[in-house]
Chain A
Amino acid sequence: MSQLGSRIGVQIYLVIFFAYLLGPLVIMSVTAFNSSSFPSAMPWECLTFDWFRSLLQDSRIMNGIRNSILIGAGTVVLSVLMGLSGALVLMRIWPRLRATYYTIVIAPILIPGVVLGISTLVFWDRINRLLGLGPGSVLSNGLFLTILGQSTFIASYCMLVMVARLQRYDETLSEAALDLGATPAQVFRKILLPFMRPAIVTAAVLAFLASFENYNTTTFIFGEYPTLTIELSQKVRYGVTPAVSALAFIIVALTIFIALANEAIRRRRELVAAVRSGASVTVAAGGRVTLPRIFSGNISAVLVVAMAMGTIVMIGTASVYRPDQCIADLRQEKQLAAQKRAEELRRQRDAKTGGTGENVGIDPVTSPAAPPRSQGGGFETVFDPGVLQELGN
């Protein structure tokens, strides 16, 4: 009895736990498809894909994504290089210096990103002045500064990944290669680098993600290259639109898809290895379900396919489905409601004063849920509920 109770308890806990983890993502994803101009899942108004369109037409967001990818790529290259060399030094350094060296290269992870941002800005500004270069020089370029500033701490993450792999490296492999006539450069290229490849890939992905989501360091040094996080934060300062939800949905979907695809590839490779070494497929797969061979015991592969199909269905629906009618109906409904309310108000007032307040009332177009109009330059159209209609046409 108590066993059953504890099992139910665990299940309830799991439900709460996953709701806590995934709930916000699910609700946010839903808001991306609701025509309500403020991101909300309830009340459901109309199914729409227009937020994705307005996202694609937002030149600042698009520019931010481009900058983020550019800076991410630069940071990946720089951080992986620094991380790899840092890890190599750590493994070869004089043992008594090792602890000190480790502390120094790990420190950037512990330093607040804000401090890193400011110090990057100040430091390169000083260098810039020292060299007598103008404000237009490379050293004060936002792209350059952001890549450098982010790499200061992302390289440390990369180094940790590399060290973990390097610790399993058998130094006699290098010696064996040397002994067979390889030069140290050939040993590095033909033996060590192939061994480090998985760690390099992991570090690169990690570096890109860390760069892409970084805000607090970047905010001081982005210059003329605002990244996506910077643009988003500037945008939400004036209120959020479901276009941001749409962007978030794309990012979440991409992340899950890549993670699942990666897992599926890994499983498949393991399966192949197991088959090569002679184990029977059924043992390696461990599944009782008779799916096509690649799917047996491979949930992620199934999920990948499901997600891919879901995407196709969604895009298909989006290209055929026109929410105009629904939105028009809704507008009319709202208009009617507003008119009714205005009339009611008028009647109340009439009853009170006996006068005729023709010109008093609420603008019938403005929905009561709409946020106040912003003063920001290019932003106001986003918050204009009319934008949906315009986009729909």
Chain B
Amino acid sequence: MNAWVGVELENLSIRFGDFVAVRDANVNIRGGDFFSFLGPSGCGKTTILRAVSGFLAPSSGNILIGGKNMKGVGPNKRPTALIFQNLALFPLMKVWENITFSMEIRGARAAERRKRADELLEMVALTGQGDKLPAELSGGQKQRVAIARALCAEPHVLLLDEPLSALDLKLRQHMRTELREIQKQVGITFIYITHDQGEALTMSDSIAVMRAGVIDQIGNGRAIYNDPATPFAASFVGENNVFRGKVVQIIGHEALIRTNRSGEIRARISTANLGKLQQGDSAMVFIRPEALDMAGADLEGDHYVSARVTNEEFEGDVFNIFMEGDGGKEIKVSLPNRGQSFESHKGRTVTLRYDVKNAVAMPAGILATE
């Protein structure tokens, strides 16, 4: 549809008084990509979005859209359209008037607007709802109207600020696929803000993980999930068991770490941290609950972990086993439910096995829940 227009952030910093909302962000978003900023609330992701759409001026650094510096360009002059968290549909206008507001601004005739509105309504599966008021629509329908309204402005970049957060789970999952399909259909760059890692992982071509104004890692979903760059990224995206300890030995791309409670663990050093771990450094090892498996009793070695089972729960698709872990945190193991008989291990000490490639080591740092 459009020539693909990318967005670049160059050393972008945004300060509010003494508070640094965004620190030195460098991101290159390719045109036509579905790009997500993922982070907990207050990490500065919405600030970045508002800066890209032009509501905030950067304190330093540049924002380039399609290679053009946007400094001094107002929000009404940028080739972006923002979908607000609360959607911000105009309550006094009918759905079709809402959708074609950008055309009204340009002085388009009512008949022309009506025609375009009907096309867009068909695209977002709301045919025949054009004459309603926003208040008469359900949450998911309002969502779609907001998308149609933004698309009507024919932006080169669509910015979405947690648009699904107000919807219930089922609808949210449905809208995920729908959003992704719309993005493929219109072929423009989507920049998506979310604190929901599931949303980010399922929809994005590329994800930036943010913490306290700093971008920790940029990569596709698999890289972020399997090869986290920081303890924060490892613990924020998906569930992770953390083992703290000291590096005993570095063996090529792997490290042997003596943990505080679970003995010696062998782990792969994450790609971003290769060469950064030295013998004697404090380190953290992350192993996903689904990467751990029950092993026979009393096996010893550097890819086994032993711990006492404190609790168990049945979640349907998985059995979750909780064990005494490091620093008051539990170790969680998820065993897939394949219809096997499941005996309780409560109170016993069990040994867990993992693949070294599924254990990721990196220098100790701040976790998401801390």
Contact = CB atoms under 8 A, between A and B. Distances in A.
A191 B90 contact: yes
Given A170-B86, A179-B55, 15 more contacts: A175-B75, A176-B82, A178-B76, A179-B53, A179-B80, A179-B82, A180-B76, A180-B101, A180-B149, A181-B106, A183-B105, A186-B105, A190-B104, A194-B92, A195-B92
B64 interface: no
Contacts of A182: 76, 101, 105
Nearest to A277: B136
Contacts of B84: 172, 175-176
7 contacts: A172-B88, A176-B82, A176-B84, A178-B55, A179-B54, A183-B76, A190-B105
User: When A and B form their complex, which 3 residue pairs have the shortest distance between CB atoms, in order from nearest?
Assistant: A176-B88, A172-B88, A180-B102
Nearest to A195: B92
Given A175-B55, A179-B81, A181-B153, A170 B76 contact: no
B74 interface: yes
A288 interface: no
Contacts of B150: 180
Nearest to B152: A180
Contacts of A190: 101, 104-105
A180 B81 contact: yes
Interface in B80-96: 80-82, 84, 86, 88, 90-92
Contacts of B82: 175-176, 179
B interface SS class: mixed
Contacts of B104: 190
Contacts of A183: 76, 105
Contacts of A175: 55, 75, 82, 84, 88
Interface in A132-169: none
Contact of B76 (A172, A173, A179, A194): A179
Contact of B105 (A173, A180, A276, A277): A180
B342 to A, nearest CB: 49
A177 interface: yes
Contacts of B86: 170, 172
Given A178-B74, A179-B76, A194-B92, A276 B136 contact: yes
Interface residues of A, number: 19
B105 A181 contact: yes
A308 B101 CA distance: 43
Interface of A: 170, 172-173, 175-183, 186, 190-191, 194-195, 276-277
A392 B76 CA distance: 72
A83 to B, nearest CB: 21
Interface string B110-150: 00000000000000000000000000100000000000011
A184 B75 CA distance: 11
B196 to A, nearest CB: 21
A186 B90 CA distance: 14
A177 B101 contact: yes
Among A175, A180, A194, A277, max chain B CB count under 10 A is at A180
Interface string B259-291: 000000000000000000000000000000000
A277 B105 CA distance: 29
A331 B53 CA distance: 86
A285 B55 CA distance: 46
A181 B105 CA distance: 7
A29 B79 CA distance: 67
Interface string B28-72: 000000000000000000000000011100000000000000000
A183 B74 CA distance: 10
Nearest to A187: B76
Contacts of A172: 84, 86, 88
Nearest to A177: B101
A277 B136 CA distance: 6
A173 B90 contact: yes
Contacts of A176: 82, 84, 88, 90
A277 B101 CA distance: 24
A213 to B, nearest CB: 33
A192 B106 CA distance: 18
A175 B55 CA distance: 8
B15 to A, nearest CB: 19
Contact of A179 (B75, B90, B92, B136): B75
Interface in B139-187: 149-150, 153
Contacts of B92: 194-195
Contacts of A277: 136
Contacts of A186: 105
B147 to A, nearest CB: 13
Contacts of B74: 178
Contacts of A194: 92
Interface in B322-345: none
A178 B88 CA distance: 12
A276 B136 CA distance: 9
A173 B90 CA distance: 7
A181 B102 contact: yes
A178 B105 CA distance: 10
A190 B106 CA distance: 13
A142 to B, nearest CB: 41
Nearest to A276: B136
A153 to B, nearest CB: 31
Contacts of A178: 55, 74-76
Nearest to A194: B92
A215 B150 CA distance: 54
Among B76, B136, B153, max chain A CB count under 10 A is at B76
Among A176, A177, A179, A194, max chain B CB count under 10 A is at A179
A172 B53 CA distance: 13
A182 to B, nearest CB: 5
Among A173, A181, A277, max chain B CB count under 10 A is at A181
A31 B106 CA distance: 63
A182 B84 CA distance: 16
B74 to A, nearest CB: 7
